[in-house]
Chain A
Amino acid sequence: MPTKSFNTNRTLRQVLVVHGVSVILVTAAILGFAGITPWQSAPLSGVLVAILVAMGSGFALYRSLYTLLNIESRLSQLAATSTNANDAAALVLEPATGNTSAEFGWNRLVEAGRVWRAVDELQKTLLASMSDRRRGTGPQLLDSLSEGVATVDPDGKITYANMALAAMCGQSNGEVLYGQLLADAFGVDADTAEKLRGDIDPAQTTFEWGVQSGAVERIFRGHRRPGRKNDGGAISSVWTIRDITQQKLADSMRDKFLATATHEFRTPLANIRAYVESLDMSDDLDPESRKRFYNVIQSESLRLSQLVDDLLDISRMQAGAMALDCRETDLGRLVEEISQKVEGEMREKNLDYRCELPPKYPKLLLDKGKLAAAIVNLLGNAAKYTPEGGRVTFRVDVNNQRIEFAITDTGIGISEEDLPRVFERFYRCNDDRVREITGSGLGLALTQEVARLHGGEVNVQSKLNEGSTFSITIPLDSTAA
């Protein structure tokens, strides 16, 4: 379950993620308060508040969460962190003496809080180290940087490398690299090595290069600055190097998203423009055609509006503020409506569409609109990625603990490489058959978030060229009406 944390710094977030906690980060108290409100009914496992937060007081936010929202009845963990140990301890202890049970996640959060304080101590040590620079503790300071730093002699051989640079080269300390060429330390190809030596353009100071690390290519950006001249007049250099793999990935995903979103908007817009123009230019249209044209304009407008909704949902999801509107739901009718929505698509592709439904449904508190959209999305995917004449089965299974909506198709399936990534936002499988079909890569991410917000999950089993089963499982205890 996701944990919402306020104004935690990146380090703390990374610590939580490493410990298996899914983190939603809010970086200002005002956003934090607005952000937490829709989560009142959501299955958050905890909230972590920093006492010092931007745009407001973490202390007030913490109090509001605890008292105004009566949030402790839903959250078993509410923790605070501060660089002032006394503040944090007082706030952490106060609600913990209530009736809330201390679960595993609580310990994780408290532990994370401790780590945060340890990071703060580290920062203080760094500051002290900086003031001691004149006394020769410079290398100690350099080892604390996340950026790689190296000095190279006029022959291009490393004379110093800090810890971060050693880690980039797969080493545990910098000394191992002394005497090696920088290019060799990174294991780059001959062309890149030539560039890094400055043989091609001695004036070039900024370089980017890739290093294959298993299946992943890591991208580095390095800046070279001339250092001191030695006795013979040759110049040594200082390198600062950063691993920009994640930044590059984010840039590439943003570009892909922009391209996909633009494409998705243009298609319904093309229809609307063409049909409006045709209505405008054709005075002799028969009433039946006129009606059909208006219907196309209406359905394409709805498609646009759905796309805008999806994009907004994704944006809310990224901000951690997607909310559920849970009401008692007639599941039988919901399932019927879902089937009606997709039957046309199934028929059009001549698919053998089957429903296996239970005789009776429990009454549950669900966000009908969002759950229906999630299931329709899975059924729509099954229809899209199953060749004509294939089979799609929609099965609903209920027992005492959970309800499961499973969609099985005999479609193109998903490769082992793509399977772990299909829920990533904007990800589309590396399969020509998928790329030929329009899609934003947002559907599965949204479906997974809707399931999570209901306390459930989405699972997938698939075999390339044989078919897939996607199932949404929702526990009954979190949704019992």
Chain B
Amino acid sequence: METVSKALVAEDDRALADIIRLALTRGGYQVAVAHDGKKALTLATNSKFDVVVSDYQMPLLNGEQLLSGIRTEGASQEALLFLCSAKSFELDSERIKRELRLSAVFFKPFSLGELVTTIKSHQTAAWA
């Protein structure tokens, strides 16, 4: 029997966090939400998540620091990581993607449908 995948959404904009949570829930994920980087890191360190979707600019820890922390230690080290950012040209996304083994980087405003589809396709590829 296929188990329900667990996703963590780290996003300080509450409205955006809510709608990503809804989209992922509808996509069949069990979703937890954190509104700052530190809380997200605590959650990801203590519980195993299959997918982490993180904003870049957040209070206490930014997205890069959070995802780096998740990769370094804790229960979600092998999670598929996705970064969303409102920064574009000033963010060295290729470097971050390479160094932290991110599955994909999304630039705001992005399509929710595309986000969920991309996450699912990466999961399918990981299971294959």
Chain A residues near B (Cβ < 8 Å):
259, 262-263, 266-267, 269-275, 277-278, 281-282, 296, 300, 436-438
One of A259, A277, A282, A300 near B87 (C-beta < 8 A): A259
Q: Does B15 contact A271, Cβ atoms closer than 8 Å?
A: yes
CB atoms of A277 and B60 under 8 A apart: no
Contact of B90 (CB < 8 Å), options: A259, A272, A273, A296: A259
A437 touches B59 (CB 8 A): yes
**Considering only CB atoms, which chain B residue lies closest to A281 in the complex?**
B113
B112 touches A436 (CB 8 A): no
A–B complex contacts, Cβ < 8 Å, 19 sampled:
A263-B86, A266-B107, A269-B108, A270-B84, A270-B86, A270-B109, A271-B13, A271-B109, A273-B109, A273-B110, A273-B111, A273-B112, A274-B109, A274-B112, A275-B15, A275-B19, A277-B112, A281-B113, A296-B15
Most A Cβ at <10 Å: residue of B19, B57, B60: B19
Q: Tell me, in angstroms, the Cα distance from A263 to B62 when the chains sit together.
A: 15
When the two chains form their complex, are residues A300 and B15 in contact, meaning their CB atoms are under 8 A apart? yes
Which B residues touch A273, using CB under 8 A? 109-112
Interface of A is mostly: helix
Task: Please report B residues at the A interface, Cβ cutoff 8 Å.
Answer: 13, 15-16, 19-20, 22-23, 26, 57-60, 62, 84, 86-90, 107-113
Q: Is the CB of A271 within 8 A of B19?
A: yes
Q: A196 vs B87: C-alpha distance in the bound complex, in angstroms?
A: 38
Contacts of A269 in B (CB 8 A): 108-109
Across the interface, which residues of A come within 8 angstroms of B86, CB to CB?
A: 262-263, 266-267, 270
B19 touching A278, Cβ below 8 Å: yes
Chain B residues near A267 (CB, 8 Å)? 13, 16, 86, 108
| Nearest CB of B to A259, in Å | 5
Report yes or no: B57 in contact with A274, Cβ–Cβ below 8 A: no
Q: Tell me if B109 and A436 are in contact (CB < 8 A).
A: no
B-chain residues with CB within 8 Å of residue A281 when the two chains form the complex:
113
Q: Is the CB of A272 within 8 A of B109?
A: yes
* Chain A to chain B: the 7 pairs with minimum beta-carbon distance, closest first: A270-B108, A266-B86, A273-B109, A270-B109, A269-B109, A266-B108, A436-B59
Residue in contact with B19 in the complex, picked from A262, A274, A438, CB distance below 8 Å: A274
Contacts of A259 in B (CB 8 A): 87, 89-90
Q: How far apart sit A281 and B19, CA to CA, in the bound complex (Å)?
A: 12
Q: Give A271 to B19 CA distance when docked, in angstroms.
A: 8
15 extra interchain contacts, Cβ-Cβ under 8 A, other than A259-B87, A271-B109, A282-B26?
A: A259-B90, A262-B86, A263-B86, A266-B86, A266-B88, A270-B13, A270-B84, A270-B108, A273-B110, A273-B112, A274-B23, A274-B110, A275-B15, A277-B111, A436-B57
Chain A neighbourhood of B111, CB < 8 A: 273, 277
- Residues in B whose Cβ lies below 8 Å from that of A278: 19, 22-23, 112
Most buried by A among B16, B87, B109, B110: B109
Q: How many Å from the CB of B104 to the closest CB on chain A? A: 16
Name the residue on A nearest B56 (C-beta).
Answer: A263
Given contacts A271-B13, A278-B22, contact A438 B108 (CB under 8 A): no
A466 and B70 alpha carbons, distance in the complex (Å): 33
Chain A residues within 8 Å of B112, by CB: 273-274, 277-278
Q: How far is the CA of A281 from the CA of B111 in the complex (A)?
A: 12
Residue in A266, A282, A438 whose CB lies within 8 Å of B109 = A266
Q: Which residues of B contact A263 (CB under 8 A)?
A: 57, 86-87
> Measured between alpha carbons, how far is A437 from B87 in the docked complex, in Å?
14
Whether A262 lies near B88 (C-beta < 8 A) is yes
Residues from chain A with Cβ under 8 Å of B16 in the complex: 267, 270-271, 274
Contact A438 B57, beta carbon cutoff 8 Å: yes
